[in-house]
Amino acid sequence: MEKYDPQAIETKWQRAWEEARAFNTPNTGDADGRDFYLLEMLPYPSGTLHVGQVRNYTQGDVLTHFRRRTGRRVLRPMGYDSFGLNAENAAIRDGGRPREIVEQNIKKIRAQMKRMGWAIDWDRQVASHEPAYYHWTQRLFLQFLNAGQAYRKEAPVKWCPKDQTVLANEQVINGRCERCGTVVESKSLEQWFFRYTTYADELLDEMELLESWPERVLAMQRNWIGRSEGAEILFRVEELDLDIPVFTTRADTLYGATFFVLAPEHSLIAKLVEGTPQQGEVLDYVRRSAARTFVEREEKEKDGVFTGRYAVNPVNDERLPIWVADYVLMEYGSGAIMAVPAHDERDYEFARKYELPVQPVVVPLDGTEPELPYVAKSDDAKLANSGQFSGLPAPEGERAIVAWLGGHARGRPAVSYRLRDWLISRQRYWGSPIPVVHCERCGIVPVPEDELPVLLPEIEDYTPKGKSPLEAAEDWIRVPCPQCGGEGRREADTMDTFVDSSWYFLRYCDPRNDRAAFEPAVVNEWCPVDQYIGGLEHAVMHLLYARYFIKVLNDLGLVDFREPFTRLYNHGWVDMGGAKMSKSKGNVVSPDELVARHSADALRLHILFIGPADARVDWQENGLEGMSRFLRRLWRLGLEVATQPPALAEGALAHKATETIVKVTDDFERRYAYNTAIAAVMELVNDVADDPSAPGARFAVETAVSLIQPAAPHIAEELWERLGHGRLWEEPWPVADPALLQRETFELVVQVNGKVRDRLEVPADLPEDELIARAKESPKVQAHLNGGEIRQTIVVPRKLVNLVVG
RNA sequence: GCGGGCGUGGCGGAAUUGGCAAACGCGCUGGGUUUAGGUCCCAGUGGGGCGGAAGUCCCUUACAGGUUCAAGUCCUGUCGCCCGCACCA
């Protein structure tokens, strides 16, 4: 018998698909609801693919084939997130240019993807570093600028001293740079932001439009946005005749405020202490605090200094000493708090250290003496020592106090968010230039549309110096002001690469458009994305940014949908040596050698079979050999049944094959359960192997070949051809014949007191009382009845009978 | 601390709606074909009791309770693990 030669077969079919343009899906302009947009997060070409990424794209590939064969026109594009620090740092470290590095890697990755046999429409390939792409990133930036969504401001920002650039809040994890782990510093710099806090409520509320996103992703986004409802309250500094607002979620504890704290960055500090004996000490504290990193501020014991000033509590006119302490963050609320040590752990810690008074004003209803700080806020507590509000349940007391403040113009209900605006400028080379010119006379002037793109110049020295390396490109940076013609300078900062990836899935729809980023009608035909697949590491960053981007574009009338990704799931990552496999950790396993030694089909099956799609798994190579075994077995049976007469759906094998169709279809369509789908096909193949000459064997093998095609397309095509058929990729997905699912008999499980005592093969149409009679007749059952009285009988149709004896 | 999730053989895992726990695969054991190995084929493989054997009975889904005719699945508590956020007022 002819040997299974995967290398020859896989090359043959990869060529055939390419020549037939099997997986290209041109725009037709006549959307009819059969379109299906399948998207996987695009790779970063800082190296080549590893098996962790193979997992992602193989899962998407199965869905692509499956949806195609169920009659959908599937858009399945591919591209590269090719701007960014990895390539730039590699260029600095190893020499060479970032462009050359990513372009070489793109070539290699593309070859790897073709060798895996993935069904990709290569006509739509995009790469974010190409002028043809970032032209439109720049154009969109200008549209955001025009709409007031992009703006420039000076603010304390997070700075990574190693990468020598500012970072977005989303890129700071526990006070450290998300990329390199360096402790970030605070710097006050003028930077570009996207105003995405204005969409905070939409980003929360419109989660309802998402059909099936993992709960944990939604939870992470909710958490990140961090909406809190509370009140803004004005405290008066009488000597200086000014009001300082605070945000609090605990207005019910207002009578318990015993001091007042400002963040060291608060703009009123200088004014408060000017000419006072405390001035020197306070300004010194502010300076020392500024020198601390976020991590130091958080890890040290709380400290602070008294300013000598007092703020008046509006409800009881008490004068609260104003302190400056860096446990209060300038970036949240108003940068000032009323401190209620009796009911807040942080204020309590601070009060203990500086011997400030602690005044409980909320007590449990049950009269017990609570341990301080007592932070519970519920209907189980009531106000005390709170003037006219004493005795009210805490939530009601809060409403009453806020209403009173409103009536006296000293406060109002307010909402605060943890979310900050998205800082998008970077002081690095390898990114899209921000298309504006700074002019002394006109200020910030957008580069006119017809002068886009602002090309990234080739430079020699990319080394980060605390400002963009483009500052040194004198020829490039000096440019006449587009407005007045006077001397201008280009913006030297480049854009965060998350801007590039916030709209790439729109560009895929209309990838060669040279008049606009995309034609709205074309994007609206394909989008929103029906199924998005990617890693959990982007749960907050990329996915939140892209959601924001689409909302802005929708408000600008450029797309007609509010959410970019209807369905999402996160493939689990692959661990290697106890850590997540990634290029940065250097623990990657390349697919190339595995494909050469086994086959692309075996690797595909193995990576799908290794565990549930969304579970983290350990990389282990053992099972790969098992998959080769399965493929050889399928090959042998395929060639064997090919000598038999044409397939007839008959006998037990046809029944089993039909059940397998139902199982695999459900696993692909609804459950994303690739592992159990493969197991089901294995079962079917094992059944045929028991007796390859049994009735229906050929039907069973042909069904198995057809069902395994999305997962192992090469061997499936080859066997399909040898079984006398045409192109399997054009073949409709098998449909279960209901008649073949019918069985004449079934196995009745008989329980006594819930324990299985016998199994009987009985006719499928037996009525209930007959089932009970058969069950009682069973000698095994009778042995357990012991002649006792049957008190209850439970019948589950076509499954079991349970006899309960007393 | 807050939020999300998980705990099943030697291993990865299956059990989808409360109805036969351990499908499928890896590994391992024994046997066969070929024999240079591998491939390939057959049988076995959660724990324990009784039995020469065919069998048969009991136990088992982190632990302890509960609901139910019936619980890996639902409820309560405990323990352990993973992920995200965290001085956010």
DSSP per-residue string spanning A443-474:
EEEEPPGGG---PPPP-S-----SS-GGGG-H
Residues 174-213/A with CB within 7 Å of nucleic chain B are 174
Establish whether the CB of A731 is closer than 7 Å to any nucleic acid atom in strand B. no
Q: Which nucleotide is nearest to A610 (CA to C1')?
A: B12
* Contact indicator for A734, A703 with CB cutoff of 8 Å: yes
Establish whether the CB of A631 is closer than 7 Å to any nucleic acid atom in strand B. no
Residues 155-174/A with CB within 7 Å of nucleic chain B are 173-174
Q: What is the DSSP string of A711-732?
A: TSHHHHHHHHHHTT---GGGSP
Q: Which two tokens stand for residue A277?
A: 């004996």
CA quadruple A684, A689, A690, A693: dihedral sign: positive
Cβ neighbours for A606, distance < 8 A, ≥ 6 positions apart: A623, A624, A626, A627
Q: What share of chain A is helix, strand, coil (3-state, %, to 5)?
A: 40, 20, 35
How far does the CA of A546 sit from the C1' of B3, in Å? 23
Instruction: Compute the C-alpha angle A281/A328/A188, nearest 5°.
Output: 80
Q: Is the pLDDT of residue A592 over 90?
A: yes
Of A326, A268, A329, whose CA–CA distance to A292 is shortest?
A: A326
Q: Is the pLDDT of residue A649 over 90?
A: yes
SS3 call for A418: coil
How far does the CA of A780 sit from the C1' of B55, in Å? 13
How far does the CA of A77 sit from the C1' of B49, in Å? 62
SS3 call for A657: helix
Report the 10 Å Cβ neighbour count for A366.
8
The pLDDT of residue A42: 94
For residues A393 and A244, what is the distance between their CA atoms, to the nearest angstrom?
Answer: 28
For residues A367 and A167, what is the distance between their CA atoms, to the nearest angstrom?
Answer: 50
Establish whether the CB of A755 is closer than 7 Å to any nucleic acid atom in strand B. yes
Establish whether the CB of A611 is closer than 7 Å to any nucleic acid atom in strand B. yes
* Contact indicator for A493, A430 with CB cutoff of 8 Å: no
**Partners of residue A759 on adjacent β-strands:** A749
Q: Which two tokens stand for residue A479?
A: 């440019």
* Contact indicator for A664, A673 with CB cutoff of 8 Å: no
Of A592, A737, A725, A712, whose CA–CA distance to A660 is shortest?
A: A737
Establish whether the CB of A522 is closer than 7 Å to any nucleic acid atom in strand B. no
Q: Which two tokens stand for residue A404?
A: 């009173």
How far does the CA of A344 sit from the C1' of B1, in Å? 12
Q: What φ, ψ does residue A474 adopt, rounded to 5°?
A: -60, -40
Residue of higher predicted confidence among A585 and A522: A522
Residues 688-717/A with CB within 7 Å of nucleic chain B are 689-690
The pLDDT of residue A121: 98
How far does the CA of A635 sit from the C1' of B39, in Å? 14
**Partners of residue A756 on adjacent β-strands:** A751
Q: Which nucleotides of B are covered by protein (CB under 7 A)?
A: 2-5, 11-16, 19-21, 23-27, 39-42, 56-58, 69-71, 82-89
Residues 284-323/A with CB within 7 Å of nucleic chain B are 297-298, 300, 302
Burial category of A377 from C-beta neighbours within 10 Å (exposed 0-12, middle 13-18, buried 19 and up): middle
The pLDDT of residue A215: 86
Q: Which nucleotide is nearest to A616 (CA to C1')?
A: B82
Give the CA radius of gyration of chain A: 34
Instruction: Compute the C-alpha angle A597/A602/A606, nearest 5°.
Output: 115
Q: Which nucleotide is nearest to A251 (CA to C1')?
A: B89
Q: Is A577 left (phi over 0), alpha (psi -120 to 50) or beta?
A: left
Report the 10 Å Cβ neighbour count for A215.
8
- Model pLDDT for residues A431-441, shown as the tens digit of each residue: 999 999 999 99
How far does the CA of A375 sit from the C1' of B71, in Å? 39
Q: Which nucleotide is nearest to A746 (CA to C1')?
A: B20
DSSP strands (E only) in A603-705: 617-618
**Helical packing angle, A600-609 and A674-690, nearest 10°:** 120
Q: What is the DSSP string of A515-584?
A: SSS--HHHHHHHPSBSEEEE-GGGTTHHHHHHHHHHHHHHHTTS-S-S-SBSBEEEPPPEEETTEE--GG
Establish whether the CB of A248 is closer than 7 Å to any nucleic acid atom in strand B. yes
For residues A24 and A496, what is the distance between their CA atoms, to the nearest angstrom?
Answer: 31
Q: Which nucleotide is nearest to A627 (CA to C1')?
A: B25
Q: Which nucleotide is nearest to A682 (CA to C1')?
A: B24
**First vs last C-alpha separation in chain A:** 64
Confidence of residue A797 (pLDDT cuts 50, 70, 90): confident
Establish whether the CB of A757 is closer than 7 Å to any nucleic acid atom in strand B. yes
Which residue minimizes Cα–C1' distance to B4? A216
Q: Which nucleotide is nearest to A4 (CA to C1')?
A: B39
- Model pLDDT for residues A217-230, shown as the tens digit of each residue: 998 999 999 999 99
The pLDDT of residue A295: 85
How far does the CA of A757 sit from the C1' of B46, in Å? 20
Report the 10 Å Cβ neighbour count for A466.
11
Strands A185-194 and A176-177: unpaired
The pLDDT of residue A466: 84
How far does the CA of A229 sit from the C1' of B25, in Å? 52
Q: What is the DSSP string of A327-359?
A: TS-TTSTTSEEEE-GGG-HHHHHHHHHHT----
Residue of higher predicted confidence among A233 and A93: A233
Which residue minimizes Cα–C1' distance to B42? A690
HSE of A346, CA atoms in CB hemisphere, 13 A: 15
Query: What is the rounded average pLDDT of the residues A619-623?
Result: 86
Q: How many angstroms separate the Cα of A116 from the Cα of each of A16, A23, A292, A713?
A: 14, 14, 50, 10
- Model pLDDT for residues A201-222, shown as the tens digit of each residue: 999 999 989 988 988 899 899 9
Query: What is the rounded average pLDDT of the residues A613-638?
Result: 91
Residues 763-782/A with CB within 7 Å of nucleic chain B are 780
Residue of higher predicted confidence among A504 and A368: A504
Residue of higher predicted confidence among A376 and A99: A99
Establish whether the CB of A751 is closer than 7 Å to any nucleic acid atom in strand B. yes
Q: Give the distance, in angstroms, between the CA of residue A634 and the centroid of all CA atoms in the same chain.
A: 38
Report the 10 Å Cβ neighbour count for A403.
14
Establish whether the CB of A682 is closer than 7 Å to any nucleic acid atom in strand B. yes
Residue of higher predicted confidence among A463 and A435: A435
Query: What is the rounded average pLDDT of the residues A391-419?
Result: 94
Confidence of residue A378 (pLDDT cuts 50, 70, 90): confident
Instruction: Write down all domains in chain A, each with its CATH number in brackets.
Output: 31-128+501-568 (3.40.50.620), 150-193+432-497 (no CATH), 228-416 (3.90.740.10), 620-740 (1.10.730.10), 743-805 (3.10.20.590)
How far does the CA of A379 sit from the C1' of B6, in Å? 33
Give the torsion through C-alpha atoms of A413, A418, A420, A426, to 10 deg. Answer: 170
Establish whether the CB of A40 is closer than 7 Å to any nucleic acid atom in strand B. no
The pLDDT of residue A490: 97
Query: What is the rounded average pLDDT of the residues A614-628?
Result: 89
DSSP state letter for A74: E
The pLDDT of residue A284: 97
Cβ neighbours for A414, distance < 8 A, ≥ 6 positions apart: A229, A230, A231, A232, A247
The share of chain A scoring above pLDDT 90, in percent, equals 75
Q: What's at A136, amino acid-wise? A: W
* Contact indicator for A565, A539 with CB cutoff of 8 Å: no
Which residue minimizes Cα–C1' distance to B13? A611
The pLDDT of residue A794: 92
The pLDDT of residue A788: 79
Q: Which nucleotide is nearest to A328 (CA to C1')?
A: B87
The pLDDT of residue A578: 78
Q: Is the pLDDT of residue A30 over 90?
A: no
Strands A487-490 and A436-439: antiparallel
* Contact indicator for A320, A258 with CB cutoff of 8 Å: yes
Confidence of residue A469 (pLDDT cuts 50, 70, 90): very high
Q: Which nucleotide is nearest to A796 (CA to C1')?
A: B19
How far does the CA of A602 sit from the C1' of B30, in Å? 29
Report the 10 Å Cβ neighbour count for A324.
26
Which residue minimizes Cα–C1' distance to B87? A327
For residues A678 and A140, what is the distance between their CA atoms, to the nearest angstrom?
Answer: 44
How far does the CA of A760 sit from the C1' of B63, in Å? 37
Average pLDDT over chain A, rounded to an integer: 93
Residues 207-246/A with CB within 7 Å of nucleic chain B are 215-216, 219-220, 223-224, 226, 228, 230
Question: Would you call the peptide bond into A373 cis, given omega within 30 degrees of 0 as the criterion?
Answer: yes
The pLDDT of residue A670: 93
Confidence of residue A297 (pLDDT cuts 50, 70, 90): confident
Q: Which nucleotide is nearest to A172 (CA to C1')?
A: B85
Establish whether the CB of A344 is closer than 7 Å to any nucleic acid atom in strand B. yes
How far does the CA of A753 sit from the C1' of B16, in Å? 26
* Contact indicator for A627, A609 with CB cutoff of 8 Å: yes
CA quadruple A461, A464, A466, A471: dihedral sign: positive
The pLDDT of residue A476: 96
